[in-house]
Amino acid sequence: MTDTCDILISGGGIAGMTAAAAFGTAGFKVICVDPTPPVTNGAAEGADLRSTAMLQPARALLERAGLWEDLAPHAAPLQIMRIIDAGGDEPEPRVTREFDASEISDQPFGWNFPNWLLRREMLDRMGALDTVDFRTGISTTRLFTRMGGAKVSLSDGSRIEAKLVIAADGRGSAMRAAAGISVRTHRYGQKALVFAATHLIPHENVSTEVHRTGGPFTLVPLPDHNGKPCSAVVWMDDGRLAQERMDMDVATFEAEASKRSCNHFGPLTLVSRRQAWPIISQHADRLSSERVALIAEAAHVMPPIGAQGLNMSLNDIATLLDLANARPDGLGDAEMLDTYHKARYRDITLRVHGIDLLNRASQAKSGIARDARAAGLSALYGSAGVRKMLMQMGLGMR
């Protein structure tokens, strides 16, 4: 059986579903496939317990995709980004700097959402669009392209003919490999522990990064949990240490996490399962080939610092959507895809390298390296012009 569509999206994660909703809302006929049905309940087995900070520019795309109105009631605003250096002999703050969104905008830096909730709302949106066909339990297996279109074989034996194939199938992308696009990968030996925790002191919409060694310990605001202040936590460290913490009993883990946070919001109480994710840096050598565009982790992967990952993915989608709307008759042709590569590649490369440098600095073990990191933070913050420029760059502003 062969079906036809304008766009086939390989991968139904958050980026793939956002792309499906955005292109479907714009009137393109979309088929999106993923081997795993999305888990849309945070308490269910297999739920993605990470959270995502949608930065300011992301809101425009979410509005275009018809998603923002339903997401807004669940948003936890991120008004202030606080960075703490705790690299001294004892795990306590020695340098604290705050970056306030009011310096550059009348809006917060962004809004934080649990990933499982994003999937729930995106699934509902796709279901409301007659232009989107979302198929789970199915993966893409083979790709054949020609100047006029692409044919993709699926794991259920069917085939899809499309003008454009969007590879949103993750860091091990099958469509990227089928298109013959290579990647460059760096492994840090780190893992990120992710979980949600309540605390006594309100976060007041402040996202806090605590740097000591091994990687940052980040607390990102979530809505209150059972009447108590709550944050999503990402704790990056050496992979062996992270695994040991995965195996700790809850009381011991809470004590260790509270200590690593410098008790900034008071004792942390675990309110979710713990999950561990390997940390790598990776980017594709090209973002397109004949009839294929790479987005999200098929195109770029980086450590979870500065909320860059998914927001870069949304920039990928917005760029493709603009190009498709500007020339609907040229959907997926060489001109469109060459323009996409040129529009996104430099920005992606710069951000991947920038986050790589920040992560290496956050891993600092020696006292000299920690002192240099603290001095660098103070120097960057000390210049109002530099501070504002860094905040604007972080948001992806031009």
Calpha distance 92→218 (Å, rounded): 15
The number of helices, as runs of H, and strands, as runs of E, in the chain is 11, 20
* Per-residue pLDDT at 395 exceeds 80: no
Using one digit for the tens of pLDDT, what is the confidence trace for 321-363?
Answer: 999 999 999 999 999 999 999 999 999 998 888 888 888 887 7
In this structure, of 27-36, 38-47, 56-65, the range with the lowest mean pLDDT score is 38-47
Using one digit for the tens of pLDDT, what is the confidence trace for 11-25?
Answer: 999 999 999 999 999
CATH of domain 2-50+116-185+284-358: 3.50.50.60
Orientation of helix 14-25 relative to helix 115-127, angle to 10°: 30
Contact indicator for 134, 118 with CB cutoff of 8 Å: no
* Per-residue pLDDT at 127 exceeds 50: yes
Query: Mean of the pLDDT values across residues 261-266?
Result: 95
* Per-residue pLDDT at 57 exceeds 70: yes
* Per-residue pLDDT at 172 exceeds 90: yes
C-alpha distance from residue 282 to each of 99, 210, 302, 351, 356 (Å): 28, 25, 6, 11, 10
Residue 325 identity (one-letter amino acid):
N
Predicted confidence band of residue 261 (pLDDT cuts 50, 70, 90) = very high
Query: Mean of the pLDDT values across residues 144-149?
Result: 92
Per-residue confidence (pLDDT) for residue 45, from 0 to 100 = 81
Per-residue confidence (pLDDT) for residue 8, from 0 to 100 = 98
Per-residue confidence (pLDDT) for residue 381, from 0 to 100 = 59
Predicted confidence band of residue 398 (pLDDT cuts 50, 70, 90) = very low
CATH of domain 72-113+188-279+366-395: 3.30.9.10
Per-residue confidence (pLDDT) for residue 249, from 0 to 100 = 97
Per-residue confidence (pLDDT) for residue 384, from 0 to 100 = 65
* Per-residue pLDDT at 264 exceeds 60: yes
Contact indicator for 206, 219 with CB cutoff of 8 Å: no
* Per-residue pLDDT at 394 exceeds 80: no
Using one digit for the tens of pLDDT, what is the confidence trace for 233-259?
Answer: 999 999 999 999 999 999 999 999 999
Give the domain ranges of the chain: 2-50+116-185+284-358, 72-113+188-279+366-395
Query: Mean of the pLDDT values across residues 368-382?
Result: 68
- The alpha carbon of 61 is separated from its chain's Cα centroid by a whole number of angstroms, namely 15
